[in-house]
Structure 1
């Protein structure tokens, strides 16, 4: 039996494993992307439904997922989901959540002690949750051997010196204290600013706006390219209209500028765009359409990508 929560592809010398924790319709479409008018969703219904939008309920489809990269002999995790047993009173969907995240990683062939590097593209509750686990009432690092790469700007913004993002949301204090601070105390956090090279294939770059330290991870290996964009994109409608921010973007103007810059490079260099929350095939190529963009081919999983992204049943 095929476990659809674990999917694989190879780009150059890097294996990518997609580990899906949950996927389904969740936020109302125009709550998630307030600037995207109803007409835009309907105009592109053939491309958006059902993998990214449910037109019956008018809800956006989102995924919670982690990307496992095997590069240069090391295992790298990109974002760690919500975590179990977290107090998140501001978000009922995340509050005291219980899931089989570690079981899914195990089915992907990853044990916690196998992980060498954890990348947090930014500090939000659905990207840092499994940084830690509960050990007899104490939060400890889930991945005991890993270096956790955290954007310095986000650590400063969400940390105690700044009143946990200026104290605007109680969840920000809670998530920092249960999912980030324990990793600091363990001496496993590496703060970076301006850029950070992980190895010959993987590089971190700033993409601020969604949060002050929001970042992307670029993969370049054997002539093939991908960019893991975190929450720079929440839904493909933002590729069609890159000026449309999510409701979670802290600095809308900066977020839109980062999004357009990343999409321009992705289109010009044929990078596979890999957002944190896309449902369906989860990753897509982007094409220019005059001054705008259009969706290219969707990723083909469990296939080696040769000369482009293998077309699958989610093809655009």
Structure 2
């Protein structure tokens, strides 16, 4: 099994309720210099057009805490108000040990945020960072063949639904199972999640969860944690914009059925044409044989 764990972060700044915080290029460069000077982070080269500054993470310590799961890659990206951690994993027990993995990465990211970003950049009014985890599980055994109780299934333990992402040439494509909860949103699929879907999910979480929390903090001027209200909004956003409605799934099923019927009709037509040619050719040979003999 393979997995990608993303920790999405959104910063809050001092007196941001009175004035929006916007950094210029000089300030952003200085902030990144301060981040790069801390232990455990190393600035990486990235695409020249990207606004993100990427850092290689030292994962030697956290690897010992999840010995049965191998961390194949660990990086962090920072730009302005946003922060994203990405951990790529392989292992046979990722789904079983997911709670532990989630906690290890959460504690690790909080430490980096406090000691490598907020504290070295107090002069730029960094105050707080809200985070939320997005997890992609790639499971070859994703399709469930065993019969399970529809009511008392994993799909009814939290907000869960399926999405079928159309491909470029087909009306149906990759199937994703999405589970939304307070600690994280988990997306399970048999194949690798597409880049477009990944970007859409990340921005959906920022829009429906993290910015919502930040707005509440501005109004109350106090620390606000993620609540079920934000999760419901995230759920509704995904269903409305990414094809999670029952109607969308039914349309996809109908399109799939229509395609199968069309292909079957085409094959039957080809078989009929070939059969007609065969019989016509046989009659032609028979006619020649009778004429000659």
Q: Normalising to structure 2: TM-score of the pair?
A: 0.27
- Structure with the greater alpha carbon radius of gyration: 2
Structure 1 or 2: more helix by fraction: 2
What is the TM-score with the length of structure 1 in the denominator? 0.26
Higher strand share: 1
